[in-house]
Amino acid sequence: MNEPIIDIFIKFLKFGLVGVSGLAVDFGLTFLCKEKLKLNKYIANCIGFLSAASSNFAINRMWTFASADPDITNQYMKFIGVSLVGLLLSYTILKLIHEQLNWNFYLAKLTAIGFVMSWNFAINLIFTFV
């Protein structure tokens, strides 16, 4: 991969914007499923997360990474796998920073988000959307 740094930076910004849209999908569907449809909060959360990850995949595939890989299923499974690892990393970082280092919960969460977003971007750049 010999992309100019500016191109990678632009992709990172796009990835971040897609992430914001995913946040809206996640929270919106979680709220709808939990509060309006009265589903179990953990099921509602899973629906929100998987829907956001799926919409993020589609937008990132078309817009951020402009992928033409015909094996969409394999690419999707890689993206979901990276997203699940990111979720686990986020939980671990949050728990470590908040509970072990006694940081404010929201500062710890912001730190986890920054780390996981960077990690997710890098892994998707070199693994999912090669």
Quick: pLDDT tens for 19-75. 999 999 999 999 999 999 999 999 999 999 999 999 999 999 999 999 999 999 999
What angle (nearest 5°) sits at the alpha carbon of residue 17, between those of residues 15 and 23?
A: 105
Read off the pTM: 0.92
What is the predicted pLDDT for the residue at 2? 81
What pLDDT does 49 receive? Answer: 94
Write the single-letter amino acid at 39.
L
Nearest Cα residue to 76 out of 46, 102, 105, 56: 56
